[in-house]
């Protein structure tokens, strides 16, 4: 069923000229990210240095308007990464392909159908002021997009908004589809005062025995709670988010509790320069179910330091430096090795 819906969407947006011809307004835009990553991986007794260039993202976007209350959105992602496929470093995925039917409900309520953002904490709100993804995306807890249906709108005269969605649960770029995973997603955001937003999110899914997460004949629950707080005080942005829940684990044939939080301060010095500091703390095994025989804590801590320079209107240069530390257990169970990773990332974002 999921494949059928996706093929219909693709045929409407890509293969049918009538779709574009009938649109009353068409906007085309996109961006490309050129990235160079240098990594130093330091184990207890070994060190591994790597360097990798990539075109991390090449987004092509079309926004089509048909009537006052109907709009379409198509986003193609054409990234270049080493080993993307067996024969090429290039690949193409449909990141977004959805239709909005607007004003179905009070306060600008709309129905959205197709491959769309997953509405959770910061994952769909993150605009990459740092090169690194939002916490739940960086850790691979959730996919940033999925195929499904959502209802969205405002509440209380603009003092709040909501997103309610039902998804397939596999994300947008998995190599194979099981067609039997489902997920529900709910987010509500409050705007109690100027510059402040507080968002609460719930995501729940069942991972079936056909998925790589679970062993044959088993099922593993996958649910997460998320809270995101953003406060803008003049040129300074304060962000905090927390995520906790149950993540499927194949070694347990079940799920184990995980917990993490991310906090960031960003200062827009002027129209050209911005600096940011962020810390991510994550425990992939809160109850020590996986590392029960391991003396060290399995938690990890990542510090990220970033500088942004707006080279010109459509060129943004970003420089990030990060230090990722594992207390032990995650990297080398046999030797209980501590692990530290140093990364330097330079990225040029070209918008058009």
pLDDT, position 233: 98
State yes or no: pLDDT of 13 exceeds 70.
no
pLDDT, position 3: 47
State yes or no: pLDDT of 337 exceeds 70.
no
| Residue 217 Ramachandran class (φ > 0 left, ψ -120 to 50 alpha, else beta) | left
Mean pLDDT along residues 321-341? 68
pLDDT, position 211: 56
State yes or no: pLDDT of 212 exceeds 80.
no
Structure tokens given for 42 = 């330091």
State yes or no: pLDDT of 83 exceeds 90.
no
Separation CA 102–CA 72 (nearest Å): 11
Which range (123-127, 215-219, 232-236) has the least confidence?
Answer: 215-219
Separation CA 222–CA 208 (nearest Å): 10
State yes or no: pLDDT of 161 exceeds 90.
yes
Which range (13-27, 112-126, 135-149) has the least confidence?
Answer: 13-27
Higher pLDDT, 4 or 65: 65
State yes or no: pLDDT of 10 exceeds 60.
no
* Residue 324 φ then ψ, to 5°: -110, 125
pLDDT, position 107: 85
pLDDT, position 293: 54
Structure tokens given for 302 = 């990542």
Fold of 2-351: Porin (2.40.160)
HEC readout, the chain = CHHHHHHHHHHHHHHCHHHHHCCCEEEEEEEEEEEEEEEEEECCCCEEEEEEEEEEEEEEEEEEEEECCEEEEEEEECCECCCCCCCCCECCEEEEEEEEEEEEECCCEEEEEEEEECCCCCCCCCCCCCCCCCHHHHCCCCCCEEEEEEEEEEEHHHCEEEEEEEECCCCCCCCCCCCCCCEEEEEEEEEEECCEEEEEEEEEEEECCCCCCCCCCCCEEEEEEEEEEEEEECCEEEEEEEEEEEEEECCCCEEEEEEEEEEEEEEECCCCEEEEEEEEEEECCCCCCCCCCCCCCCCEEEEEEEEEEEEECCEEEEEEEEEEEECCCCCCCCCCCCEEEEEEEEEEEEEC
pLDDT, position 321: 98
- Domains of the chain, residue spans: 2-351
Nearest Cα residue to 80 out of 98, 105, 55, 103: 55
Cα dihedral 213, 214, 219, 225 in deg (nearest 10): -30
Mean pLDDT along residues 306-324? 97
Encode pLDDT of 196-205 as tens digits.
Answer: 999 999 999 8
CA 314 to each of CA 26, 151, 266, 300: distance values in angstroms, whole numbers, following the listed order: 21, 33, 21, 36
pTM: 0.87
């Amino acid at each position: 069923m999921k494949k059928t819906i996706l093929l219909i969407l693709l045929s409407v947006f890509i293969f049918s000229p009538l779709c574009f011809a009938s649109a009353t307004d068409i906007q085309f835009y996109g961006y490309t990210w050129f990235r160079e990553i240098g990594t130093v991986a330091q184990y207890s007794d070994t060190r591994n240095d790597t360097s990798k260039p990539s075109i991390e993202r090449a987004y092509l976007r079309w926004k089509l308007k048909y009537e006052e209350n109907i709009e379409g959105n198509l986003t193609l992602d054409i990234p270049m990464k080493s080993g993307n496929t067996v024969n090429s470093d290039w690949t193409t995925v449909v990141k977004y392909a959805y239709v909005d039917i607007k004003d179905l409900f009070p306060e600008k309520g709309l129905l959205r159908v197709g491959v769309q953002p997953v509405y959770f904490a910061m994952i769909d709100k993150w605009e990459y002021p740092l090169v690194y993804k939002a916490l739940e995306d960086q850790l691979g807890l959730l996919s940033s997009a999925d195929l499904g249906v959502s209802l969205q709108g405002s509440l209380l005269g603009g003092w709040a908004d909501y997103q309610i969605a039902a998804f397939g649960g596999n994300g947008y770029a998995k190599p194979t589809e099981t067609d039997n995973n489902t997920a529900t997603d709910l987010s509500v955001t409050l705007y109690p005062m100027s510059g402040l937003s507080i968002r609460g999110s719930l995501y729940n899914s069942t991972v079936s025995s056909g998925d790589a997460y679970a062993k044959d004949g088993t099922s593993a629950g996958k649910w997460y709670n998320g809270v995101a707080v953003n406060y803008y005080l003049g040129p300074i942005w304060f962000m905090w988010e927390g995520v906790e829940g149950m993540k499927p684990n194949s070694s347990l044939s079940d799920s184990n509790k995980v917990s993490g939080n991310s906090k960031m301060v960003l200062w827009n010095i002027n129209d050209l320069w911005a600096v940011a500091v962020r810390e991510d703390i994550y425990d992939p095994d809160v109850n020590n179910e996986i590392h029960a025989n391991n003396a060290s804590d399995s938690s990890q801590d990542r510090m990220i330091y970033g500088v942004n320079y707006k080279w010109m209107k459509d060129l943004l240069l970003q420089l990030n430096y990060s230090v990722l530390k594992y207390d032990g257990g995650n990297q080398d169970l046999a030797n209980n090795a501590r692990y530290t990773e140093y990364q330097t990332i330079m990225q040029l974002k070209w918008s058009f």
